[in-house]
Amino acid sequence: MAAANEDLSKMMEDPGQWVIQTGDYKNQRYSKLDQINKDNVGDMQVAWTFSTGVLRGHEGSPLVIGDTMYLHTPFPNIVYALDLANDGKIKWKYEPKQDPEVIPVMCCDTVNRGVAYADGKIFLHQADTTVVALNAETGAVEWSVANGDASKGETNTATVMPVKDKILVGISGGEFGVRGSLTAYNISDGSLAWRAYSMGPDSDILMDPENTMNLGKPVGENSGTNTWEGDQWMIGGGTTWGWYSYDPELNLVYYGTGNPSTWNPAQRPGDNRWSMTIMARDADTGMAKWVYQMTPHDEWDYDGVNEMILTEQTIDGQERKLLTHFDRNGLGYTLDRVTGELLVAEKFDPAVNWTTGVVMDKESPEYGRPQVVAQYSTEQNGEDVNSTGICPAALGSKDQQPAAYSPNTELFYVPTNHVCMDYEPFRVSYTAGQPYVGATLAMYPAPESHGGMGNFIAWDGKKGEIKWSIPEQFSVWSGALATAGDVVFYGTLEGYLKAVDANTGDLLYKFKTPSGIIGNVMTYTYDDQQFVGILSGVGGWAGIGLAAGLANPNDGLGAVGGYAALSDYTALGGQLTVFKLPN
Ligand code: PQQ
């Protein structure tokens, strides 16, 4: 077993531990464990359970470091250290003091996507943006730093990512006119190393006009200001609340930026760079090596923050370092992660209708741009336009719930939404700390389909094709796990943990946990036995009606119509369920 202070990359190679939320730096969410496999997973039983004592949405997963499990909760952001030798007996508990005034400033429930580990410390990133380093053995606070200011609408839901001697920290608040940034703090004492804004002057966005590349061309001067009107970039969104990945060989960090603020596109002319962008940055300096904006001048709230999954695959006889990303906008992208070359951009939900696809002709001035279907635009010549039947809805063909990749099958396993919307933009003015949304939405299941709001799909990233698809009544809002046992796990909003065959998608096992699942499945070993863990606790944007306890569940930010039926299946309450094979 790796000692607590051993190099994190090495610890990731030990499949017995789960040392980072994303499984590894590649975000593959793939485990080499195969004790539980497709032949015996049907026999799985509950080993032990743990109630977190907190309501609202439980995203992310626990970590396992040695014989300790580290478990987090949504606001108030409690951290538990649990003893694996004693079915989760509490070793220590840390509960921060936070001003509850942060709760109404969080757009999409009070979720938190989990703690991180490095160098003997557990890193908690609180809702109010405080980052705390806790001693992993004792839970004592070693240092803390405020990454943002909740009174200006700056909040947090994301985990942090440790890379070498730093942690990388994002920010939420795209619905409050926050200017997004990714910030690196030194692990030793929490001091600032670098900050890269998503928009603004070149020196703020850490881009070199001549050497930061955009689809093979330099980005040029002032790219983060001259694609905005006046100083709108100062309240431009592009927040960084998703997942980050890292390639140690290239020393590049990959992540995506969120929607431009406001949701009313007529109020912010221009391409609004670098919102909706895949960023590749040097881990030591933050300097951008390459960028690619997926949805210039977003008209639908298609944040680009979903995870970047790093793989090595052979294309046309050549082994390439790839990056695959399933965007909210419904397109599955594969890029060369060394250069940022765009290789594939295809719809991963047949319902997607706002675009006919991306221009792939390198000679075209439109190269890399999605072609917008005019009927689904929400502005015309600077005027607001109400538009109906847009697919996907604002929560995208996929939101932050992370996909998994199996090197065995070379398939991606993707939790998706199958939801469309009507969009009504309206004029809004900016006041710090107040919602700066500028549109109302109605969301409903994709028409002319199976009637449900989700699919769990297997995707061939090289061809850009769906291999198989499992229809689900509700969006699949849980992160997937693929294993060497050729099993793929995911959770459903009704509360089922499901295990399916990685090749065929055939259902092998299901178990109804106490609440809807928006957490991510993880696995580890203790005493040579494989365990599978999942957090239940319905909430997040899809479950916000239930989470907020609203009289009318459609009153959340953007009416999320069809999810109201969730109350027929489940209710609030955080619980971890741990499974194993019978002894
Ligand atoms: N969070 C969820 C969730 O956890 O269920 C879903 C969403 C967020 C969205 O669909 C968002 O658009 C969103 N946007 C921001 C932002 O623009 O800053 C933040 C968050 C968040 O931090 O959870 C979400």
Question: Residues 287-328: pLDDT tens digits?
Answer: 999 999 999 999 999 999 999 999 999 988 999 999 999 999
Residue 124, Cβ density class (10 Å: 0-12 exposed, 13-18 middle, ≥19 buried): buried
Q: Would the CB of 107 count as within 6 Å of ligand 1?
A: yes
Contact 302, 349 (CB under 8 A): no
Q: Would the CB of 395 count as within 6 Å of ligand 1?
A: yes
pLDDT at 549: 61
Distances (CA, A) of 178 to 37, 169, 181, 261, 512: 45, 15, 9, 8, 39
Contact 306, 294 (CB under 8 A): no
Distances (CA, A) of 36 to 27, 106, 277, 324, 484: 21, 38, 38, 27, 9
pLDDT at 544: 79
pLDDT at 54: 97
pLDDT at 66: 96
Higher-confidence position of 384 and 442? 384
Q: Which residues pair with 447 in a beta bridge?
A: none
Q: Residue 248 corresponds to which tokens in the numbers above? A: 């140690």
Using pLDDT thresholds of 50, 70 and 90, give the confidence band for residue 515.
Answer: very high
Q: How far apart are CA 124 and CA 77, in angstroms?
A: 8
Which residue, by CA, sits nearest to atom 5 of ligand 1?
540
Centre of ligand 1 to C-alpha 529, Å, is: 36
pLDDT at 7: 85
pLDDT cut 70: percent of the chain above it:
96
- The answer on pLDDT for 553 being more than 60 is no
Q: For 185-219, write each residue's pLDDT tens digit.
A: 999 999 999 999 999 999 999 999 999 999 999 99
Q: Which residues touch 3 (CB under 8 Å, ≥6 apart)?
A: none
Which residue in 36, 24, 11 sits closest to 483, CA to CA?
A: 36
Q: Would the CB of 241 count as within 6 Å of ligand 1?
A: yes
pLDDT cut 90: percent of the chain above it:
91
Average pLDDT over residues 491-520: 98
Centre of ligand 1 to C-alpha 172, Å, is: 7
Using pLDDT thresholds of 50, 70 and 90, give the confidence band for residue 109.
Answer: very high
Centre of ligand 1 to C-alpha 108, Å, is: 5
For residue 239, give the ligand 1 atom closest to its CA: 18
- The answer on pLDDT for 566 being more than 70 is yes
Which residue, by CA, sits nearest to atom 6 of ligand 1?
541
Q: Would the CB of 173 count as within 6 Å of ligand 1?
A: yes
Contact 58, 495 (CB under 8 A): no
pLDDT at 1: 38
Q: Would the CB of 31 count as within 6 Å of ligand 1?
A: no
Average pLDDT over residues 510-528: 98
Q: Would the CB of 111 count as within 6 Å of ligand 1?
A: yes
| Prediction pTM value | 0.97
pLDDT at 561: 67
Q: Which amino acid is at 512?
A: K
Contact 13, 462 (CB under 8 A): no
pLDDT at 315: 83
Centre of ligand 1 to C-alpha 38, Å, is: 34
Centre of ligand 1 to C-alpha 400, Å, is: 8
Average pLDDT over residues 231-247: 98
Q: Residue 463 corresponds to which tokens in the numbers above? A: 């061809």
pLDDT at 562: 78
Q: Residue 201 corresponds to which tokens in the numbers above? A: 């002057």
Count of beta carbons in the 10 Å neighbourhood of residue 26: 22
Extract the runs of DSSP E, i.e. beta strands, from 294-386: 308-315, 318-326, 331-336, 342-347, 355-358, 370-372, 379-380, 383-384
pLDDT at 340: 98
The chain-wide mean pLDDT, for the chain, equals 95
Q: Which residues pair with 68 in a beta bridge?
A: 65, 83
What is Dmax (Cα atoms) for the chain? 67
Q: For 131-168, write each residue's pLDDT tens digit.
A: 999 999 999 999 999 999 999 999 999 999 999 999 99
Q: How large is the ipTM?
A: 0.99
Using pLDDT thresholds of 50, 70 and 90, give the confidence band for residue 403.
Answer: very high
Composition of the chain by helix, strand, coil, percent to 5: 10, 40, 50
Using pLDDT thresholds of 50, 70 and 90, give the confidence band for residue 4.
Answer: very low
Going by their DSSP bridges, the two strands 45-51 and 507-512 should be labelled as unpaired
Q: Would the CB of 400 count as within 6 Å of ligand 1?
A: yes
Contact 465, 346 (CB under 8 A): yes
- Give CA 471 to chain center in angstroms: 22
Which uninterrupted H or E stretch holds 206? none
For residue 544, give the ligand 1 atom closest to its CA: 5
Centre of ligand 1 to C-alpha 107, Å, is: 6
Q: How far apart are CA 567 and CA 551, in angstroms?
A: 12
For residue 111, give the ligand 1 atom closest to its CA: 4
Contact 133, 188 (CB under 8 A): no
Q: For 472-483, write each residue's pLDDT tens digit.
A: 999 999 999 999
Q: Which residue has the tokens 């944040």?
A: 303
Which residue in 103, 95, 123 sits closest to 8, CA to CA?
A: 123
Q: For 421-439, write each residue's pLDDT tens digit.
A: 999 999 999 999 999 999 9
Q: Would the CB of 239 count as within 6 Å of ligand 1?
A: yes
pLDDT at 565: 86
Q: For 362-372, write each residue's pLDDT tens digit.
A: 999 999 999 99
Q: Would the CB of 148 count as within 6 Å of ligand 1?
A: no
Size of the chain, expressed as the number of residues it contains: 583
Q: Which residue has the tokens 């509960």?
A: 95
Q: For 62-102, write each residue's pLDDT tens digit.
A: 999 999 999 999 999 999 999 999 999 999 999 999 999 99
Q: Would the CB of 163 count as within 6 Å of ligand 1?
A: no
Query: Which residues form the catalytic set?
Result: 301
For residue 543, give the ligand 1 atom closest to its CA: 5
Contact 402, 519 (CB under 8 A): no
Q: Which amino acid is at 150?
A: A
Average pLDDT over residues 560-576: 88
Which residue, by CA, sits nearest to atom 19 of ligand 1?
172
Average pLDDT over residues 169-184: 97
DSSP helix/strand/coil, 148: coil
- Gyration radius (Cα) of the chain, Å: 22
Q: How far apart are CA 141 and CA 278, in angstroms?
A: 34
Which residue, by CA, sits nearest to atom 10 of ligand 1?
395
Q: Looking at residue 398, what DSSP letter applies?
A: S
Q: Which residues touch 553 (CB under 8 Å, ≥6 apart)?
A: 544, 545, 546, 560, 563, 564, 566, 567
